Amino acid sequence: MQKNNLNIGVINLGCPKNTVDMECMLSSLKNFTITKEPNKADVIIINTCGFLKKARLESEKAIKDMLKYKKENKKLKIIIAGCYVEKEKEKLIKKYKNYIHSFIGVNDLNKILRSIKYGGEYLDSKPYIYNSNERKILLNEISTYVKIADGCNRKCSFCVIPQIKGSYRSRTIDDIIKEIKNLIAAGVKEINLISQDSSYYGVDIYGKKKLIDLIKKILKEIKEYFWLRIMYLYPDFSIVKDLVKIMKIDKRLCRYFDMPFQHINNKILHNMKRGHNKEYLLKIIKYIKKEIKDAVIRSSFIVGFPGEGEKEYNELLCFIKQGLIDKPGFFLYSDEPGTDAFNLENKNDLKEIKKRYKKLTVVAKNICYYNNKKLKNKIVNCLIVGNKNKNFFLGRTQYNAPDIDDYIVLNNNNIAKGNFYKIKIK
């Protein structure tokens, strides 16, 4: 039997999809309290990330840090779950079998209760995605993520996600809407739709892309005011056009395009196996900027991909300097065994990659600073999402996504967390 009032420590690493996975794991448990103090925990769940080398090192550090508490408390059960476990299962089991209570892969997260009770390895289930009945606990009760699909069918040469997560698998439209209705009824004010590739949603179960139909049905069936934000869009001009149409009609759909481009040079895009070129990306950008003047585009780029010489890098740098991407983000190229890119020639020295990365991030900060200055003295709709301290609140506009973008600091005592307010930016 599960112990009453189990104290559970939670360490959630990686992307928002991991946040949803952690919430699903916690939702299958009863009679527990989340503790932020590892020395008081009966169980510590570490939900790991294995996407890049940097993420795996972060996961390793978290594991080792928590094992220190096991020296003081021999009964402490440490469970490691998620992408890193899925990717490096043999290595991790060999290394930590005598110290870790249980190992859980990405398709066995619903076995968390059994893993706490019995320990062991849970690593061999078929590809899995949760349904609306499996998620009842939220780590953020104001703004939350809803996973519309998992896995990926793309063949990007740098990416290990298909190896870790498996083939693309969509949830049904009805089940997603059921979950969102429950979340809105519980007081959630912002829904962020996520997946590995949101543009591809529905192809596996409906035979065609159904993201636009999903969004339309969400907005039709839910009458309350809330923000709906779409994350992880693969560049797709037809979907962008349809999103723009909806944004013009319904202000609940955030004027925010989260669309990873990865690079802008045609040779690099080809070697990345992205399936489009620079001209196609510019077509998307220009259309968005023309049709929705206040739209925000966030995109991520890989720095130092094999074959990226000075010419290719400078093309990327000049593109970023144009300011067409309102919120650019960058990743150092990570040479991942098992990917096609791992076998490419003309790899860059890490020192050179970091030098390029540093220069790009300086440019990106200047762009964000400039865009923030443009909001000065403007009145915007703001969602109050938390407290900075006892005297100040934190809020966000529709132009800022949770966890990755800027916050607005407010000092008005007549506001409350979880509400929308018209505010003037100073």
Classify strands 120-122 and 102-104 as parallel, antiparallel or unpaired. parallel
Q: Are 157 and 262 in contact (CB under 8 A)?
A: no
Burial 253-275 (b: 16+ CB within 10 A, else e): bbbbbbbbbbbbbebbbebbebe
For the stretch 297-325, pLDDT in tens is: 999 999 999 999 999 999 999 999 999 99
Pair of tokens at residue 216 = 């339309």
Pair of tokens at residue 21 = 């996975």
On the CB side of 106, CA atoms within 13 Å amount to: 25
How far is the first Cα of the chain from the last one, in angstroms, to the nearest whole number? 56
Residue with the two structure tokens 């506009």:
397
Q: Are 144 and 190 in contact (CB under 8 A)?
A: yes
Residue with the two structure tokens 């890193």:
84
Q: Can you give the pTM of this predicted structure?
A: 0.94
Q: Residue 329 is which amino acid? A: G
For the stretch 32-59, pLDDT in tens is: 999 999 999 999 999 999 988 899 999 9
Asked if pLDDT for residue 3 goes beyond 70, the answer is no
Mean pLDDT of the chain: 94
For the stretch 352-405, pLDDT in tens is: 999 999 999 999 999 999 998 888 889 999 999 988 887 789 999 999 999 999
